[in-house]
């Protein structure tokens, strides 16, 4: 007898398997969606690995036995660990269609464990070829009628692909790891994912990306709108409850830290200001009752759908519901069905504190219908809806206002925006620092090298300042001419000012002739007609941290920075003068800072 068969028989006789669980996360809400049960052999033999164990079971027509054993262990352990969310159970179509496969056993195990069917998702793998598609559809329909949800596993890896999707109408599709692996570096994989996302929207199916192992993959998937994620990057399979009590927040926080941050004061408005208080409905509301709600309010186009804890789970649209009821037998088929059958299961949900520019990026990247709404939450709970038209209208108005006051040479915010940035921080009592940056010897350079070269110097200073500040919370503004201001929201202002000086001096040498660089300057005629030696371009920076309790307006803060800049200009070389004067009426005290760059 085949030794592998004997090993398999030992496993089945002794129930020698144990479940492990791998979390599946909703990365938008930073919470657990559920856990996929993964079985391992507990006997020390060649079948300890699941792939080989299930292959041998399939070979000897004992797949149904093995799957039921794994299912039994997984359900019992899931309940014993009191894990949150849904339980995803892998089920092969071959086992489902086995005539010997006992009917009703999964329901019995679920009830015995004290779980509700709506917390269990039957994962049908796409890797096995199914000869009798009708019988599979009938079997899946039976599970759905009992209250289980359905998922297609390994989408894109097997035989039937989109055909199986269209026939089974799953609640979830899990995209095969092949399409996730280095998707950030493959145009083909990105286009495949886009197609899956569009199809999922059209069929109200939730997409789960599995096999995520790199932060770059997670970033791209989140950017594309795939919010359900699974993989070693987020959490590995485990048997221990402590290991399973995890959150993806540490990964998402690392992601945020690795990208350029934008000061909360740099944007004009948070999305919460545009939220409309539109009453929501519960996920168990019948379609007929929802239809009556729309009929009572003709201006209502969308309704948020909430769960028991007032968290949004979907968005019901008037036109979709009307279309269904207009079809033959529409009312007969859907009147008493819950709205979850027809709602959009993947609406755009954002926290009230998200800034308009960020929301705009999500809208344009995911190509949302302009007629739709987005769902606004506060700490995860529903507070209202915001029409996409209103959002885009406010963003457009804000961009126009910015352009009207921007400096035409650098396109950086001008005096109006700079004053607004300072006033916002004063109103919020938010501690900040203000740097006044001024070019030295610019007029002589402009006279010698011409206005075009002078413009190049201004642009260079703008570029250097933006590049140095791109990974910190800063607001960069251009007052006019060769004067700039930077508002710093973090405690790294001095360090960044040093970097601006160093990088500008290094890069500005390319604007001079080699002879002038070698000499450290050039001879020019001053206003009195006398020859004088002019050094290369340098910077004077005055830095102040105003007292937000004492300073009443932006003019007082700007006056402090101007005085500090005047002190910095007393020095021949580039210099950073850090002022200890914080109140408008206090006397100026000079702080010597060794910040010159020779």
Task: Enter the DSSP assignment of 28.
Answer: T
DSSP state at residue 441: S
pLDDT, one tens digit per residue, over 361-420 is: 777 666 666 667 889 998 889 999 988 887 777 777 766 666 666 788 898 988 888 998
Task: Kindly compute the dihedral angle of the four CA atoms of residues 469, 470, 472, 474, in this order, to the nearest 10 degrees.
Answer: 60
Whole-number Cα distances in Å, 107 to 75, 122, 172 = 11, 12, 20
pLDDT in the model for residue 367: 63
**Sign of dihedral through CA atoms 185, 191, 192, 195?**
positive
Phi then psi for residue 128, to 5 deg, are -95, 135
Query: pLDDT per residue over 537-562, tens digit each?
Result: 999 999 999 999 999 899 999 999 99
Of 28-37, 99-108, 489-498, 561-570, where does mean pLDDT reach its minimum? 99-108
What residues contact residue 132 under an 8 Å CB cut-off, 6+ apart? 97
Q: Between these two residues, 262 and 452, which has the higher pLDDT value?
A: 452
For 265-282, what is each residue's pLDDT tens digit?
544 467 887 888 899 999
Please name the residues in contact with 275: beta carbons below 8 A apart, sequence gap of 6 or more: 352, 376, 383, 384, 385, 386
Between residues 145 and 433, which one has the greater pLDDT?
433
3-state SS, residue 448: helix
* Paired residues of 249 in beta bridges: none
User: What three-state secondary structure class fits 313?
Assistant: strand
121 bridge partner residues: 88, 149
Q: What is the pLDDT of residue 224?
A: 84
Nearest to 34 by CA among 294, 298, 210, 205: 210
3-state secondary structure labels for all residues of 132-195: CHHHHHHHHHHHHHHCCEEEEEEECCCCCCHHHHHHHCCCEEEECHHHHCCHHHCHHHHHHHHH
More confident residue, 219 or 358: 219
Q: What percent of the chain has pLDDT over 70?
A: 86
pLDDT at 25: 93
pLDDT value at position 258? Answer: 43
Choose the weakest-confidence range: 162-166, 170-174, 481-485, 586-590. Answer: 586-590
Strands 31-41 and 149-155: unpaired
Residue 503, pLDDT score = 96
**Which has the minimum average pLDDT: 26-35, 165-174, 239-248?**
239-248
**592 pLDDT band (50/70/90 cuts)?**
very low
Q: How far is CA 434 from the centre of its chain?
A: 31
Structure tokens at 450: 């011409």
Q: Do the Cβ atoms of 265 and 421 come closer than 8 Å? A: yes
pLDDT digits (tens, 9 = 90+) for 322-349: 999 999 888 999 999 999 999 988 888 9
Q: What is the pTM of this model?
A: 0.49
CB atoms near residue 359 (< 10 Å): 22
pLDDT band at 421 (very low <50, low <70, confident <90, very high): confident
Q: What is the pLDDT of residue 493?
A: 93
pLDDT digits (tens, 9 = 90+) for 562-590: 999 999 999 989 999 999 889 886 544 44
């Amino acid at each position: 007898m085949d030794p592998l068969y004997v090993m398999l028989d030992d496993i089945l006789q002794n129930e020698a398997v144990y479940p492990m669980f791998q979390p599946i996360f909703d990365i938008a809400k930073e919470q657990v969606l559920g856990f996929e049960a993964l079985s391992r052999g507990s006997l020390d033999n060649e079948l300890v690995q699941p792939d080989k164990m299930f292959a041998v079971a399939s070979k000897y027509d004992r797949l149904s036995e093995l799957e039921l054993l794994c299912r039994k262990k997984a359900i019992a352990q899931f309940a014993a660990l009191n894990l949150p969310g849904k339980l995803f159970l892998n089920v092969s179509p071959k086992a489902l269609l086995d005539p010997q496969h006992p009917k009703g056993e999964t329901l019995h195990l679920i009830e015995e464990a004290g779980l509700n069917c709506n917390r269990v998702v039957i994962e049908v793998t796409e890797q096995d070829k199914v000869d009798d598609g009708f019988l599979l559809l009938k079997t899946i329909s039976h599970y759905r009628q009992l209250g289980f949800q359905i998922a297609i596993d390994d989408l894109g890896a097997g035989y039937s692909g989109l055909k199986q999707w269209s026939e089974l109408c799953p609640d979830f599709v899990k995209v095969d790891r092949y399409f996730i692996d280095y998707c950030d570096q493959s145009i083909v994989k990105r286009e495949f994912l886009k197609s899956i996302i569009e199809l999922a929207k059209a069929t109200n199916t939730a997409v789960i990306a599995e096999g995520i192992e790199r932060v770059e993959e997670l970033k791209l998937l989140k950017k594309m709108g795939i919010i359900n994620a699974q993989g070693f990057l987020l959490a590995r399979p485990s048997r221990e409850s402590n290991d399973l009590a995890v959150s993806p927040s540490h990964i998402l926080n690392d992601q945020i830290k690795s990208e350029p941050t934008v000061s909360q004061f740099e944007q004009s408005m948070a999305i919460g200001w545009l939220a409309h208080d539109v009453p929501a409905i519960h996920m168990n509301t019948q379609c007929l009752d929802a239809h009556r709600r729309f009929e009572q309010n003709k201006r209502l186009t969308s309704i948020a759908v909430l769960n028991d804890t007032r968290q949004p789970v979907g968005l019901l649209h008037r036109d979709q519901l009307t279309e269904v009821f207009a079809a033959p037998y529409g009312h007969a088929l859907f009147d008493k069905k819950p709205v979850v059958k027809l709602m959009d299961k993947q609406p755009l949900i954002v926290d009230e504190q998200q800034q308009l520019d960020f929301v705009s990026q999500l809208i344009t990247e995911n190509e949302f219908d302009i007629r739709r709404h987005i769902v606004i939450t506060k700490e995860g709970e529903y507070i209202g809806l915001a029409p996409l038209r209103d959002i885009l209208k406010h963003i457009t108005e804000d961009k126009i206002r910015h352009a009207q006051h921007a400096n035409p040479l650098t396109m950086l915010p001008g005096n109006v925006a700079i004053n607004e940035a300072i006033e916002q921080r004063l109103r919020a009592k938010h501690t900040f620092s203000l740097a006044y940056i001024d070019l030295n010897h610019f007029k002589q350079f402009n006279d010698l090298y011409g206005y075009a070269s002078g413009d190049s110097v201004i642009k260079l200073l703008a570029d250097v300042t933006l590049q140095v500040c791109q990974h910190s919370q800063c607001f960069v503004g251009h007052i006019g001419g060769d004067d700039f201001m930077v508002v710093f929201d973090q405690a790294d202002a001095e360090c960044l000012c040093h970097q601006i000086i160093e990088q500008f001096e290094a890069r500005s040498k390319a604007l001079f002739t080699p002879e002038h660089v070698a000499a450290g300057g050039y001879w020019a005629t001053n206003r009195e007609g006398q020859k004088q030696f002019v050094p290369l371009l340098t910077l004077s920076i005055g830095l102040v941290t105003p007292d937000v309790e004492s300073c009443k307006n932006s003019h007082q803060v700007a006056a402090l920075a101007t005085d500090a800049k005047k002190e910095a200009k007393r020095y021949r070389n580039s210099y950073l003068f850090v002022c200890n004067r914080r109140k408008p009426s206090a006397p100026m005290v000079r702080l010597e800072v060794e910040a010159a760059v020779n």
